[in-house]
Amino acid sequence: MIRSDDKEGISAKSAALMAASQKLGEKVYADMQAKQAAEAAGPGAEQAAKPADDNVVDAEVKEVKKG
């Protein structure tokens, strides 16, 4: 444990530590966002980006034999 009566020094170092922690958090968040974006743009993204074929008709076929 560090003991000091230098309140200004402690406050300055505490502020510097908080600023560094903030920058580290921003970096981690940005990296996480980039990773998620890369995963979303992976091989499955091509299929999701294609529009649905609106010309599809569902029907039953019945074969009729003549004769």
Tens of pLDDT, residues 1-32: 567 788 999 899 999 999 999 999 999 999 99
Percentage of the chain beyond pLDDT 90 is 39
**Does residue 61 lie within any of the structural domains?**
no
This prediction's pTM: 0.49
Q: Is there a domain that residue 63 lies in? A: no
Count of the separate structural domains present in the chain: 1
User: What is the reported pLDDT for 45?
Assistant: 52
Note whether residue 15 is domain-resident: yes
Residue range of the domain that includes 23 = 7-41
Q: Is residue 52 part of a domain?
A: no
The rounded distance, in Å, linking the Cα atoms of 16 and 54 is 59
Among 59, 61, 41, 38, smallest CA distance to 49 is for 41
Q: Is 66 within a domain?
A: no
Q: How confident is the model at residue 1, as a pLDDT?
A: 59
Residue 44 has pLDDT above 70, yes or no: no
Q: Is residue 36 part of a domain?
A: yes
Q: Is residue 55 part of a domain?
A: no
